[in-house]
Amino acid sequence: MRILQLSDPHLVAADAALVRERPAMALLERALLEGQRDHPDLVLISGDLCQDESWGGYVRLRRLLEANVNVPVGLLPGNHDHPLLLKAVLGRRFCTAPAELIVQGTRLVLLNSHRSGCSAGWLGPHQLQWLQQRLADPMRRDLPLVVALHHPPVAIGHPVMDTMNLSDHHQLAAILQPHAALRAVVFGHIHQHWHGTWPQRPDVPLLGCPSTLRSFQCVQPCPLGRAEDPGGRLLEIHNDGSLSQRVLRWSPC
């Protein structure tokens, strides 16, 4: 089972608008074209979907996905999103967090770390309780598990991004770490490649995803030596349940 993770496209409603001096919509379309060369079974876009949090921006995203993607799509709200508009415009056609998907024998749990009026991430007690209940399902607990959220669940060593971590990340770690089926936790927000682990689960990678729009100053070197280029990540769950993953990069034009 292959997951194509894209992140932080920062779309806006205006057709020809530039975001951070780049054409956000055209770059996301390019990312979908490049990323699907690897024939993913699911496309995950991990937050900051719509920079201006507009109805028109989400409509443009829906049309883009409908025209270019023929596999299930998971969508996460980021701090630059309006979760209610996101769900209203895209929720009937695509899967929006919080949610659980099972695709090709792999379990993907989508979490909503958006907090209104705040750049920092937050899950809250009700969502954490929901997560704990979902993971306790005896019929699914042996399936390989990937958990996705927008904000990083640990400090990444970035002077700005480390002020934006989850206030309740210790609770998230406590819930996830006992689950032997956990294969990876993936996130966006940081606009760069990042690879780490929790001390209690060094076998489980914590993976930050590059942005399809523009990179931030990197903490770790890009494995491809292309830290400034738009990118994404491909994750693959193999038949034996093991995980492999790699960073994807392509030209911005």
Mean pLDDT over 92-107 rounds to: 96
Q: For residues 78 and 120, give the distance between their C-alpha atoms in angstroms, rounded to a whole number.
A: 10
Residue 253 pLDDT:
74
Residue 115 pLDDT:
87
Q: What does the domain layout of the chain look like in residue ranges?
A: 2-249
What is the secondary structure of 99-156 as a DSSP string?
EEEEETTEEEEE----BTTBSS---HHHHHHHHHHHHT-TTTTTS-EEEEESS-SS--
Question: Among 152, 151, 150, 146, which residue's Cα sits nearest to residue 236?
Answer: 146
Q: What is the pLDDT of residues 52-77, one digit of tens each?
A: 999 999 999 999 999 999 999 999 99
Q: Which residue has the higher pLDDT, 17 or 190?
A: 190
Q: What is the mean pLDDT of the chain?
A: 92
Q: What is the CATH number of domain 2-249?
A: 3.60.21.10
Q: What is the pLDDT of residues 171-200, one digit of tens each?
A: 999 999 999 999 999 999 999 999 999 988
At residue 137, does pLDDT exceed 80? yes
Confidence of residue 169 (pLDDT cuts 50, 70, 90): confident
Q: What is the pLDDT of residues 140-165, one digit of tens each?
A: 989 999 999 999 999 888 766 655 45
What is the secondary structure of 25-88 as a DSSP string?
HHHHHHHHHHHGGG--SEEEEES--BTT--HHHHHHHHHHHHHH--S-EEEE--SSS-HHHHHH
Mean pLDDT over 237-243 rounds to: 95
pTM (2 decimals)?
0.95
